[in-house]
Amino acid sequence: MTDIVNTEQAAAWNGPEGAHWAEHNPADGGFNAELTAPLLTAANIRPDDHVLDIGCGTGETTRLAARQARDGHAVGIDLSAAMLQQARAAAEAAGLGNVAFEEGDAQAYPFAAGRYQVAISRFGIMFFADPVAAFANIGRALRPGGRLVFVCPRSMADNDWYVVPLSALHKRLGTATLPESGMFSLADPAHTTDVLTRAGFSEVTLRPLDAPMDFGADAHAAADGYLGSGPVLAVLEQPGGLTRATARDLLADALRPYESPDGVRIPGGHWLVVARRPTENLSARGAHRPRPGR
Ligand SMILES: C[S@@+](CC[C@H](N)C(=O)[O-])C[C@H]1O[C@@H](n2cnc3c(N)ncnc32)[C@H](O)[C@@H]1O
């Protein structure tokens, strides 16, 4: 096992949250499936590319990348053993011979330097304790000129899928505002540009991307999907808080207005972020070194 520096994240994604995600986000078509096509279009993967998928989860985007990089290969890295187990099984079932999965922390994993032309991520890069160190580590894995392409949520206010169900629970608890979440750590475009620049990337662009999130066939299925998510587990763990049954009813009531013939679809606002590892020698500029105290 390689170094894990994001130990809380590793515990969550290897514990109930990861198991729940693996169950409710099947290997294909998870809640953020609408983000896949824009991500892969921007990644522009070529047949002989080597692709790294950060926080790959159950590996849908890794497998799609491997299909595009048919003469190259795709590697997914994730903290969660349970999710990687599904990812490997799905790749094997699909008969993909050019895909592999690594269990590890992308912030510290000893990637082969300059191995990949493209690094992608669908919602797997918001949870780093030290984002500059993490993106610098990912940058080292890229060839000079290589591309980093990811999607992440914009602000909480842009994401009804997060705010609406959680507010229903917090309102019942008497909490005035929702607690901050690592989910939105890259919401501020100036901050994200600064992080990526300090990590050694250049040509950073952020494009708003609005796409609904899918939460299952009806409000009860959607409520079950939310019940084991990190933010809802945090509510359920509060002493004297809500029972699971009450939380499920509150979630279902909040989600019912979003029921449609296509299932429960709730608006989401995201960034599509593209950056490049410069072609010049970064270490000569010290660009990978995080600033002290940050
Ligand atoms: C919201 S899920 C997204 C999973 C997948 N990309 C998808 O779209 O279905 C976030 C994933 O990032 C992974 N993750 C979080 N921090 C990580 C880290 N430091 N290194 C590797 N994976 C990480 C988690 O284990 C989890 O699978």
Predicted local confidence at residue 14, as pLDDT: 87
Dig out the tokens for 220 from the structure: 């009860």
Question: Is residue 118 in a domain?
Answer: yes
Instruction: Give the ligand 1 atom nearest the CA of 121.
Output: 6
Counting the structural domains of the chain, the total is: 1
Domain that holds residue 128: 7-157+182-214+263-279
Mean pLDDT of 22-34: 77
Would the CB of 101 count as within 6 Å of ligand 1?
Answer: no
| Tens of pLDDT, residues 253-290 | 999 999 999 999 999 999 999 999 999 754 544 444 44
Cα 290 to averaged position of ligand 1 atoms, centre (Å): 23
Contact 56, 62 (CB under 8 A): yes
Q: Tell whether 91 is covered by a domain.
A: yes
Q: What is the pLDDT of residues 217-260, one digit of tens each?
A: 999 999 999 998 888 988 898 887 899 999 999 999 999 999 99
d(CA 288, CA 196): 10
Distance 285 CA to ligand 1 centre (A): 30
- Residue 16 domain-assigned? yes
pLDDT attached to residue 292: 39
Dihedral angle sign, alpha carbons of residues 197, 200, 201, 206: negative
| Residue 29: pLDDT over 80 | no
Residue 221 lies in a domain: no
Q: Is residue 198 assigned to a domain?
A: yes
Crossing angle (nearest 10°) for helices 244-255 and 160-173: 130
3-state secondary structure 170-220: HHHHCCCCCCCCHHHCCCCHHHHHHHHHHCCCEEEEEEEEECCEECCCCHH
CB of residue 162 inside a 6 A radius of ligand 1: no
Which residue among 1, 4, 13 has the greatest number of ligand 1 atoms within 8 angstroms of its CB, and so is best to mutate? 13
Which pLDDT score, from 0 to 100, does residue 17 have?
80
Q: What pLDDT does residue 219 have? A: 96
Residue 241 lies in a domain: no
Sorted by sequence, the CB contacts under 8 Å of residue 238 that are 6+ apart come out as 173
Q: Which atom of ligand 1 sits closest to the CA of residue 80? A: 25
d(CA 186, CA 68): 28
Q: Which atom of ligand 1 is nearest to the CA of 35?
A: 8
pLDDT tens for each residue of 72-99:
999 999 999 999 999 999 999 999 999 9
CA atoms within 13 A on the CB side of 236: 18
62 domain residue, yes or no: yes
Query: Which alpha helices (DSSP H) does the chain contain, by range?
Result: 7-14, 16-24, 36-43, 60-68, 81-93, 131-141, 160-173, 189-198, 219-227, 230-236, 244-255, 282-285
CA of 278 to the centre of ligand 1 (A): 26
- Structure confidence at residue 1 (pLDDT): 62
Instruction: Compute the CA torsion angle 185, 191, 194, 199 (nearest 10 deg).
Output: 0
For residue 171, what are the CA distances in angstroms to 130, 165, 241, 259? 32, 10, 12, 22
* Ligand 1 pocket: which of 123, 183, 213 to mutate (most atoms within 8 A of CB): 123
| Ligand 1 pocket member 77 (CB < 6 A) | yes
**Position 222 in a domain:** no
Atom of ligand 1 nearest to the CA of 13: 25
Question: From the centroid of its chain, how far is CA 31?
Answer: 11
Give the CATH number of the domain where residue 143 resides. 3.40.50.150
Per-residue pLDDT at 281: 54
Q: What's the Cα-to-Cα distance from 105 to each of 60, 124, 156, 168, 219, rounded to whole Å?
A: 19, 11, 26, 34, 34
Of 46-60, 96-110, 170-184, 197-211, where does mean pLDDT reach its minimum? Answer: 170-184
In 3D space, the residue among 236, 237, 258 whose CA is nearest the CA of residue 245 turns out to be 236
Query: What would the mean pLDDT of 102-126 be, rounded to a whole number?
Result: 97
Residue among 62, 127, 270 whose CB has most ligand 1 atoms within 8 A, to mutate: 127
Please choose from 1, 56, 75 the residue to mutate so as to test ligand 1's pocket, defined by most ligand atoms within 8 A of CB: 56
- Residue minimizing CA distance to atom 10 of ligand 1: 124
